[in-house]
Amino acid sequence: MDEDTLEFKRQMVHLLNGSAIAAAVYFLKPVIGLLILLPLVTALFLLHAMPKIKPDLRIMHHLMYHFERRRDIQNFPFKGAIFYGLGIIFPIALLNVNYGCTVILILSVGDAFSNLIGRRYGRTRILDKSLEGTAAFFFTSWAVASLLVNPVHAFILALAGALIELFSFWDDNVTIPAGLSLLVLGLGL
């Protein structure tokens, strides 16, 4: 499978799973509180352990070879999913439901669209990203965030998320939700 097809599939999983997780948090956190983290932590443990315990398990093999970047299959299977799961612990645990879901959606929607638009239309390079991808992150994040929080707050969070994604020094699946969660707490939103 070529790299563009793989990245498209990965970003669709990012977008759809992230949206489903945000919906689950939105509806379940008010009912069960932080127990909502239990399935997430269990899934993270399984994603990390299963390739080592049972590497020939059919479903693990299928997921790795259809959704994992080639460089990560041997070195760190399910790296993106594990870092994504670790990253969204911050907004789930630290923020109220609306802002927690907003941060998860900014990560899911913004990151997916920045990758897809940046790969396809990115011409103006900024570091190893593109201006077009960063703009896609900002505008799609602002739109989706405005559904849950004040549009001015949504603007601030979308802009901060786009900048974190652009200048991220580590995996953006962790730095975006951690950074936005700290920003929400710091601004008292």
Token code pair at residue 27: 């509806």
Q: What is the pLDDT of residues 3-43, one digit of tens each?
A: 778 778 878 888 999 999 999 999 999 999 999 999 999 98
Task: List phi, psi (to 5°) of 159.
Answer: -65, -45
- Give the span between the Cα atoms of 109 and 168, in whole angstroms: 17
pLDDT of residue 72: 65
Provide the b/e sequence for 57-84 (b: ≥16 CB within 10 Å). eeebeebbeebbeeeeeeeebbbbbbbb
Q: What is the pLDDT of residues 67-121, one digit of tens each?
A: 676 676 677 778 888 899 999 999 999 999 999 999 999 999 999 999 999 989 9
Query: Domain residue spans in the chain?
Result: 3-187
- Give the span between the Cα atoms of 69 and 158, in whole angstroms: 27
pTM: 0.90
- Give the span between the Cα atoms of 99 and 25, in whole angstroms: 11
pLDDT of residue 84: 93
Give the confidence band of 149 by pLDDT, cuts at 50, 70, 90. Answer: very high
